[in-house]
Amino acid sequence: MTFSILARDEESGAIGCAAATGNLAVGAWVLRASAKAGAVATQGFSVSPLWGDDALIHLGKGASARDTVERLTAADSGRDRRQLSVLDCSGGVAAWTGSANTDHKGQIEGRGYVIAGNWLASEAVLGEMEAAFQSSAEKRADFGRRLLDTLAAGVAAGSDSRGTLSAAIKIVHPQRAPLDLRVDYDQDPLERLNTIYDLATTEPYASWINVVPTLEDPHRC
């Protein structure tokens, strides 16, 4: 019921994730991210938020994306109805797509990114998302905007077969305050999310963010 992207920005080292769905509250259900560990997307016919929480624990202890996916899926008898994408802080990626998820479904693993989806309107959705993400890299676009444009490409290619009702983006970095934006139910959630992103990355909000404590500067003010 969801499509998502996890990615590491090679220039800044930021970890980002974004997702959209034809259901409610995709950010809360699907996305997890930590500047200390990496990013996770948990989705599927029977989504398991526990996978997201446990994946960050494993990554935080030094496990790779591949090891994390293998460990979580092997221990869960419901894995065939779930989908999991994992990105570690080094840019390593791995994904699982259970066979009992609703078509169209699949995943694409690339250098520093992983794109996955299920219940998609067409097989083209994931490929168009990857093309948009790669194209934006060549244009040296803003990292958050790249993630949002990747979601937009998925919507344009057919989106979730039920439409698009919620969208979210999350970006973490040890030297920056986290960005966590969500539209939980809207007839055009991606447009709303882009508007909120613009507000969050320009003045006056941007100046306030620059004094919020970070992992590497926990006492700044």
> For 33-98, where are the alpha helices, taking DSSP H only?
49-60, 65-74
Q: What is the dihedral of CA 196, 199, 202, 206, to 10 degrees?
A: -90
Query: What are the backbone angles phi and psi of residue 20, rounded to the nearest 5°?
Result: -145, 155
pTM of structure: 0.96
The pLDDT of residue 140 is 76
- The pLDDT of residue 50 is 96
Residue 14 confidence (pLDDT): 97
* pLDDT score recorded for residue 6: 98
pLDDT of residue 36: 96
pLDDT score of 7:
98
Side chain identity, residue 107 = Q
Q: What is the pLDDT of residue 163?
A: 80
Give the model's pLDDT for residue 221: 86
Taking 50 as the pLDDT cut, the residues of the chain under it are: none
How many alpha carbons lie under 13 Å from residue 193 in its C-beta half-sphere? 32
pLDDT value of position 8: 98
What's the pLDDT score for residue 210? Answer: 86
Coil/strand/helix, residue 175: coil
Tell me, what's the pLDDT at 139? Answer: 76
pLDDT of residue 138: 78
What pLDDT, on the 0 to 100 scale, is given for residue 19?
98
